Structure 1
Amino acid sequence: MKKIVNGLFTLLILLLLCLGFILKESGVFRKIAPHFDGTAEEINSPEGIEDLTIDHSNGDIYLAATDRRDSEKTGAIYKANTHQKDLNLIDISKEFPDTEFRPHGISLLKKHGKIYLFVVNHRNKEHVITRLDYVNDSLTGFREFRDPLMISPNDILAIDTATFYFSNDHSLPKGTERTIKDFMLDKNGFVVLYDQDKAEKVTQNMAYANGINISPDEQYVYVSATTEKKIFVYRKDPKNHTLEFIDEHNTGTGVDNIEIDQYGNLIVGAHPKMLKFLGHAQQPENRSPSQILKIVYLPETDYKFLQEELYLNNGDPLSGSSVGAYFEKKDGTNDLFIGSVFESKILRLHRNL
């Protein structure tokens, strides 16, 4: 009997330690002190602008929107220009014939004198990568890419017209096993290179592979692992596009999409309290803090990374931030745009320098 009691006591201790680990890693004990050095403007938008990207040559901003609380609804791609005083979101995908179009991650490619938008597209029974040709405020043509390795694609990074990387946040289908492994920080996500009709895994496994982007000189590829709270850095081979792991940075928060500013700095959307974000996913009334980081990668230094928290709120006015994009205008003014997974608005923040 004593052995049974001791065994149960040991099991209870292990369960409590496991629970404490989950709560700590998800940010439950973190104190939120909202701050931003500037002014905030709320802009009404379609639901779920989970990802957006800016063309730094002209200030055009492209936004991927899908209502993730209604699986029957389809989404759209919108465009605006950061120089507009009143941001006017134009639906540039309204002529796109896909009746199951649900864009997620988005990547802008300017190549061969043309503009392309690559998007992760969650159709009813399959995930595809869709390349859209952008001409005169309209998406005029498209190509779809399919592969068995498109298991749970999240974000995308376009390299050429038929070459891109995408992150699989999981290698498991949705279900109980995947949920349990998420809480245990199981590393079953990874990055895939798709190059000229051939796909291959090009990174190690990581816990919830999410945002992906590239340095302006195309030397480094950055990948966020949300539940690991890390940014991984890879050296990109210029010929065959394979990736070599070289660095990692513990951000201390649930990092999501990665955008790159004019200077090559990483602007990262994040979820500082991940369990609150899960609650927000269930009910919009459950507010989840929004956070934007600026990360500078300095590979020639001993410390390698500099991290600055540009923005933090307690869930209002925007809940569940997933992406931030920073744009510096020629007149010296600066805008920080923030999108989220579920909200029907975005933020435009005018930052004081």
Structure 2
Amino acid sequence: MKYCNLLKRTEKCGNSPFLFLGAIILFLNLLNCGVEIKAVGPSGAACTKIGGIPGPEDLAIDWEEKVLYVSSHERRTKNQTGKIFTIDLKNPSAPTELSVKYPSEFRPHGISLLKTKDTYRLYVISHPKLYEIHTIEIFERKGKEWSHVGTLTDPLITSPNDLSVVSENEIFLSNDHGTGGIPRYLWDDLFGFKRAEISYYDGKNWSSLGNPLSLGNGILYAKDSQGNEFLYRSGYSDKSVFQFAIHREQGKPVLGEPKKILLNYGPDNLALDSKGRIFAVSHGSTYQFLRHVKNHDFHSPTLVFQISHDGNFQEVFANSGDLISGGSTAIPFEGRLYIAQIFNPYILNCEYSNSD
């Protein structure tokens, strides 16, 4: 979600954005300010906090090494840059900052881990200049040493929110807005114009896979047990996750007609569990989320859904915001459920039975 910075930027952009934002908030207020979320899943003593991580918006997991990588950025502080943290899941109480030289004006967002026999890389979306310059920063581990090894950028990366890296020669990227500045973003959000497309990188060039949405969000490449390829994408304004069957023509992906999985809440990031199921975190109320953007004392409901490849889903966690507000990513691992969030400086670590 990008509203965190949209709200900050409108303070400096004259009266027009104020009018747009006021209209948006009023409209959302009338729609869902009174949303009540019934608690589901672990709570109370079943959950602890892994603190010391400002704005832990996205997660990537190394299942074999039992390490969680965290994209961290304090979004409420003007001109703040960010970092990457690691969490040893064998002892998840103490996060550690990744020892690497970050590129200039590093403001991390979506993150994806690529692990093969010969390659160990983190691909991280960054916003060096908010709403104007966007990059994908590539960090590589050789032995135990990390280094920054490359930067990807292209006009088709219009407003990147999340990415899913399949190989060095295949990246799927979800934009949350099309081209344009703050007024155009707010205009699109207010009227639900669908201009946020999927971008694709083949190792040399970027292209568009189309399928524009209003407020595109998380994206995830996955295979089912038969080896069929799928692409999943969160549509925040649609309150749905879209499933695309992938067909190949001369090795290039062609997306089939989207299957809409209606969650009734705006989904954020997507992640796979060890069994290949999709975990989608959703925001219970846009109005409450916007209030939370400006003030951590205002709670914003967080929900987590488990989605199967056949489109069936179940709610596995829901909280009104007192445990965690503005949740963004969830990954289950060895009897625990790790839930990240956009603003407040901790990851929620809850007891969780990841059974069928």
Does the alignment reach a TM-score above 0.5? yes
1:212 counterpart (208, 219, 232): 219
Residue matched to 2:349: 348
Letter in 1 for 2:180: P
The RMSD of aligned alpha carbons is: 2.3
Q: What CA distance in whole angstroms lies between the structure 2 residues aligned with 1:162 and 1:45? A: 35
Q: Does 1:325 align with 2:326?
A: no
Residue matched to 1:335: 336
Q: Does 1:234 align with 2:244?
A: yes
Q: What CA distance in whole angstroms lies between the structure 2 residues aligned with 1:192 and 1:183? A: 24
Q: Give the alignment's TM-score, normalised by structure 2.
A: 0.84
Q: Does 1:63 align with 2:70?
A: yes
Q: What CA distance in whole angstroms lies between the structure 2 residues aligned with 1:240 and 1:98? A: 31
User: What's the secondary structure of 1:173's corresponding residue?
Assistant: coil
Q: Quote the offset at 1:20 in angstroms.
A: 12
Q: What CA distance in whole angstroms lies between the structure 1 residues aligned with 2:31 and 2:170? A: 35
Cα contact 2:218–2:268 (8 A) shared by 1: yes
Q: What CA distance in whole angstroms lies between the structure 1 residues aligned with 2:228 and 2:146? A: 26
Q: Does 1:101 align with 2:106?
A: yes
Q: Quote the offset at 1:134 in angstroms.
A: 2.1
Structure 1 unaligned regions, length at least 5: 1-17, 299-304
Alpha-carbon distance change, 97 to 108 in structure 1, aligned in 2, over 3 angstroms: closer
User: What's the secondary structure of 1:237's corresponding residue?
Assistant: strand
Q: What CA distance in whole angstroms lies between the structure 2 residues aligned with 1:98 and 1:136? A: 21
Q: Does 1:175 align with 2:182?
A: yes
User: What's the secondary structure of 1:204's corresponding residue?
Assistant: strand
User: What's the secondary structure of 1:205's corresponding residue?
Assistant: strand
Q: Does 1:222 align with 2:228?
A: no
Alpha-carbon distance change, 26 to 243 in structure 1, aligned in 2, over 3 angstroms: farther
Alpha-carbon distance change, 132 to 152 in structure 1, aligned in 2, over 3 angstroms: same
Alpha-carbon distance change, 103 to 138 in structure 1, aligned in 2, over 3 angstroms: farther
Cα contact 1:78–1:91 (8 A) shared by 2: yes
2:128 counterpart (123, 134, 141): 123
User: What's the secondary structure of 2:38's corresponding residue?
Assistant: coil
Cα contact 2:122–2:139 (8 A) shared by 1: yes
Q: What CA distance in whole angstroms lies between the structure 2 residues aligned with 1:325 and 1:221? A: 18
Q: What CA distance in whole angstroms lies between the structure 1 residues aligned with 2:303 and 2:70? A: 19
Q: What CA distance in whole angstroms lies between the structure 2 residues aligned with 1:156 and 1:177? A: 23
Letter in 2 for 1:349: C
Letter in 2 for 1:317: L
Q: What CA distance in whole angstroms lies between the structure 2 residues aligned with 1:198 and 1:26? A: 42
Cα contact 1:169–1:207 (8 A) shared by 2: yes
Q: Give the alignment's TM-score, normalised by structure 1.
A: 0.85
Letter in 1 for 2:343: F
Alpha-carbon distance change, 176 to 325 in structure 1, aligned in 2, over 3 angstroms: same
Residue matched to 1:8: none
Alpha-carbon distance change, 277 to 62 in structure 1, aligned in 2, over 3 angstroms: same
Question: How many equivalent residue pairs?
Answer: 323
Residue matched to 1:301: none
Q: Quote the offset at 1:71 in angstroms.
A: 3.5
User: What's the secondary structure of 1:284's corresponding residue?
Assistant: coil
Cα contact 1:67–1:73 (8 A) shared by 2: yes
User: What's the secondary structure of 2:308's corresponding residue?
Assistant: strand
Q: What CA distance in whole angstroms lies between the structure 2 residues aligned with 1:21 and 1:221? A: 35
Q: Cα deviations across residues 26-53 of structure 1 (Å, max 9, x unaligned)? A: 6435321123246111111321110002
Cα contact 2:103–2:148 (8 A) shared by 1: no
Q: Quote the offset at 1:317 in angstroms.
A: 2.1
Q: Does 1:195 align with 2:176?
A: no
Cα contact 2:100–2:146 (8 A) shared by 1: yes
Alpha-carbon distance change, 137 to 272 in structure 1, aligned in 2, over 3 angstroms: farther
4+ runs of 1 displaced by more than 6 Å? 18-21
Larger radius of gyration: 1
Q: Quote the offset at 1:184 in angstroms.
A: 2.2
Q: What CA distance in whole angstroms lies between the structure 1 residues aligned with 2:228 and 2:167? A: 12
Worse-matched range after superposition: 219-228 or 116-125 = 116-125
Q: What CA distance in whole angstroms lies between the structure 2 residues aligned with 1:349 and 1:258? A: 18
User: What's the secondary structure of 1:281's corresponding residue?
Assistant: helix
Letter in 2 for 1:101: F
Letter in 1 for 2:234: S
Q: What CA distance in whole angstroms lies between the structure 2 residues aligned with 1:107 and 1:210? A: 14
Q: Quote the offset at 1:256 in angstroms.
A: 0.2
Alpha-carbon distance change, 19 to 103 in structure 1, aligned in 2, over 3 angstroms: closer
Cα contact 2:193–2:214 (8 A) shared by 1: yes
Q: Cα deviations across residues 143-185 of structure 1 (Å, max 9, x unaligned)? A: 1111111111110111211421111100043423321321322
Q: Quote the offset at 1:200 in angstroms.
A: 1.1
